[in-house]
């Protein structure tokens, strides 16, 4: 039953028309659709009524208007919005994975600034292929005969299996019938492609002879799958790719290699475990190799397929290829990213490799400057993570700004996210941790400003 106090508060809630007549909301309606703003105001006033009926206090006029303006900003602002990644996770899936190079950003912008020769042959003056140019670049970078790019690596795997193995069998190690982020499961993808999964070996130990025993007249391919975001250690065995290629040649079966992250650079140079490179996969004889564009490649979201020219042609002509093709912005950005590798400029131009190769002295100096200018916290040693389903369990030494906050850790993290340019930190045992490895040097001043605001008068 509604009390007299609640009835009084409900009467005091300004009407939708009254709020729309306020100059601040009126200005918003002048910028946006009046219908949309009216609906938003109605939603806010409905929420306020529910708050009162639930026993809460009704906000005043200015507070209600501020709620309207905040909701409008969060609902109709630019999205995705720029944030500063201070988590120390280089390939942070929730934050968009790999930031792109300046060259890739410029190329993407140029691709949509006007018309382009996306599907136009400049020599003949007739329709061309959006894949022909990029195929040559992929081939030059990887050492493969040809290449193809689609909208992500999950699409690449699905497309390849659909084009090559529909209605036939594909052999996979039981230890590689994995699930990675977003519920992407190899057995499910296999079913969707129309191929039949034939599992061999055990979870922890599979041998080349297991693949050979399973090969038969209905076998279309052998599929090797990178575990991406986990590792099995101890009593384990996996055949090398070259061993699988030997089995494939003996039975005239192509070997498909899903590399996942797909690095073109030897990760051991940075103190990390060896991640199989795309070039190694090609050299070892994989018929087709699939890998991501926005992980260790450091480019836009993409799924890159490289390998045998005839198979690439077969895959590119499959009806599904059109459904998973890339748009012109992503193609331009991917091309620019690959050219950085071709020109041997990747480590200096591509942000993730600059982050991975950052010196300990530089990281320490930046963390100390955050502490000094932010006026709070202490500098402590820590570990950065490559992330993004790459190099599972692998970390890099770093220096962290640690803000000892205890029960206030969540509120400080919220305050950092509310900064003009939101700063995303991580919390560990009541400490708010900020890692300079994943922060661009030009973002340091924004981080310091956010720290000052989060710290408050103290």
| In a shared domain, residues 307 and 403 | no
Q: What's the pLDDT score for residue 227?
A: 75
Looking at residues 436-451, what average pLDDT do you find? 97
Residue 182 has pLDDT above 60, yes or no: no
Work out whether the CA dihedral 346, 348, 350, 352 comes out positive or negative: positive
Q: What's the pLDDT score for residue 437?
A: 98
228: pLDDT confidence band, cut at 50, 70 and 90?
Answer: low
DSSP assigned state of 120: B
Q: Strand 423-424 relative to strand 395-404: parallel, antiparallel, unpaired?
A: unpaired
Q: What's the pLDDT score for residue 108?
A: 97
Residue 428: which domain range?
84-93+353-455
Looking at residues 140-148, what average pLDDT do you find? 97
- How many structural domains compose the chain? 3
Looking at residues 445-453, what average pLDDT do you find? 96
| In a shared domain, residues 383 and 306 | no
CA distance 38 to 25: 10
| In a shared domain, residues 387 and 319 | no
Q: What's the pLDDT score for residue 231?
A: 62
| In a shared domain, residues 198 and 106 | yes
Q: What's the pLDDT score for residue 291?
A: 96
| In a shared domain, residues 320 and 369 | no
Q: What's the pLDDT score for residue 341?
A: 97
> For the domain that residue 435 is a member of, what is the CATH number?
3.90.1150.110
User: What is the rounded average pLDDT for all residues in the chain?
Assistant: 92
> Which has more pLDDT, 347 or 74?
347
Contact yes or no for 270/240 (Cβ under 8 A): no
183: pLDDT confidence band, cut at 50, 70 and 90?
Answer: low
Choose the weakest-confidence range: 257-261, 325-329, 446-450. Answer: 257-261
Residue 393 has pLDDT above 80, yes or no: no
Q: What's the pLDDT score for residue 457?
A: 58
| In a shared domain, residues 143 and 271 | yes
| In a shared domain, residues 88 and 129 | no
| In a shared domain, residues 343 and 401 | no
Phi and psi at 150, nearest 5°, equal: -125, -175
Helix (H) or strand (E) holding 315: helix 309-316
Q: What's the pLDDT score for residue 179?
A: 66
| In a shared domain, residues 70 and 148 | no
- End residue of a domain, out of 334, 349, 364: 349
CA distance 378 to 370: 9
CA distance 62 to 306: 60
- End residue of a domain, out of 327, 349, 371: 349
The residues near 48 (Cβ < 8 Å, ≥ 6 apart) are: 13, 58, 59, 64, 67
Q: What's the pLDDT score for residue 30?
A: 85
78: pLDDT confidence band, cut at 50, 70 and 90?
Answer: confident
Choose the weakest-confidence range: 78-87, 170-179, 253-262, 334-343. Answer: 170-179
234: pLDDT confidence band, cut at 50, 70 and 90?
Answer: low
Contact yes or no for 424/416 (Cβ under 8 A): yes
Most confident of 49-63, 72-86, 184-198, 424-438: 424-438
Q: What's the pLDDT score for residue 184?
A: 66
> For the domain that residue 253 is a member of, what is the CATH number?
3.40.640.10
CA distance 452 to 438: 20
- End residue of a domain, out of 311, 327, 349: 349
Looking at residues 278-283, what average pLDDT do you find? 96
Q: What's the pLDDT score for residue 327?
A: 95
Q: What's the pLDDT score for residue 12?
A: 84
Q: What's the pLDDT score for residue 20?
A: 92
| In a shared domain, residues 217 and 260 | yes
As a dihedral over the C-alpha atoms of residue 6, residue 11, residue 14, residue 16, rounded to 10 degrees, the angle is 100
| In a shared domain, residues 160 and 306 | yes
| In a shared domain, residues 278 and 292 | yes
Q: What's the pLDDT score for residue 31?
A: 87
Choose the weakest-confidence range: 30-34, 107-111, 216-220, 282-286. Answer: 30-34
Residue 230 has pLDDT above 60, yes or no: no
**Interval 336-377: pLDDT, tens:** 999 999 999 999 999 999 999 999 999 999 999 999 999 999
The half-sphere exposure of 194 on its side-chain side, counting CA atoms within 13 A, is 11
pTM for this one?
A: 0.88
């Amino acid at each position: 039953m509604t009390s007299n106090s609640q009835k009084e508060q409900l009467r005091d809630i300004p009407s939708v028309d009254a709020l729309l007549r306020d100059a601040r909301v009126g200005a918003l309606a002048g910028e946006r659709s009046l219908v949309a703003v009216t609906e938003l105001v109605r939603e806010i006033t409905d929420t306020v009524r529910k708050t009162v009926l639930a026993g809460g206090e009704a906000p005043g006029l200015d507070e209600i208007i501020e709620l309207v303006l905040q909701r409008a900003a969060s609902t109709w602002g630019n999205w995705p919005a720029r944030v500063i990644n201070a988590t120390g996770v280089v390939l942070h899936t929730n934050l968009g994975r790999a930031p792109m190079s300046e060259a890739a950003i410029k190329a993407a912008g140029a691709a949509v600034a006007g018309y382009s020769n996306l599907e136009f042959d400049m020599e003949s003056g007739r329709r061309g292929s959006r894949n022909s140019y990029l195929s040559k670049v992929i081939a030059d970078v990887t050492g493969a005969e040809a290449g193809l790019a689609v909208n992500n690596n999950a699409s690449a795997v699905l497309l390849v299996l659909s084009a090559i193995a529909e209605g036939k069998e594909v052999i996979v190690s039981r230890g590689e019938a994995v699930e990675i982020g977003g519920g992407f499961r190899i057995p499910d993808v296999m079913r969707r492609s129309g191929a039949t999964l034939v599992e061999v070996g055990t979870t922890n130990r599979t041998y080349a002879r297991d693949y050979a025993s399973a090969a038969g007249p209905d076998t279309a391919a052998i599929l090797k799958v990178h575990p991406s975001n986990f590792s099995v250690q101890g009593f384990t065995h996996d055949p090398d790719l070259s061993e699988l290629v030997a089995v494939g040649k003996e039975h005239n079966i192509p070997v498909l290699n899903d590399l996942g992250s797909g690095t073109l650079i030897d990760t051991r140079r940075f103190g990390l475990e060896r991640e199989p490179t795309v070039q190694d996969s090609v050299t070892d004889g994989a018929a087709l190799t699939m890998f991501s564009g926005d992980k260790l490649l450091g480019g836009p979201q993409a799924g890159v397929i490289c390998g045998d020219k005839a198979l690439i042609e077969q895959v590119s002509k499959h009806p599904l290829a059109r459904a998973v093709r890339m748009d012109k912005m992503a193609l331009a950005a991917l091309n620019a990213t690959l050219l950085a590798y071709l020109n041997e400029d990747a480590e200096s131009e591509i942000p993730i490799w600059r982050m991975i190769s950052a010196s300990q002295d530089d990281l320490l100096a930046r963390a100390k400057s955050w502490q000094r200018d932010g006026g709070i916290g202490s500098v402590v040693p820590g570990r950065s993570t490559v992330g993004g389903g790459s190099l599972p369990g692998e970390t890099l030494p770093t220096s962290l700004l640690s803000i000892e906050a205890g029960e206030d850790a969540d509120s400080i993290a919220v305050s950092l996210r509310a900064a003009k340019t939101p700063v995303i930190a991580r919390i560990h045992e009541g400490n708010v941790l900020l890692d300079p490895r994943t922060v661009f040097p030009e973002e340091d001043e924004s981080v310091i400003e956010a720290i000052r605001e989060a710290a408050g008068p103290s």
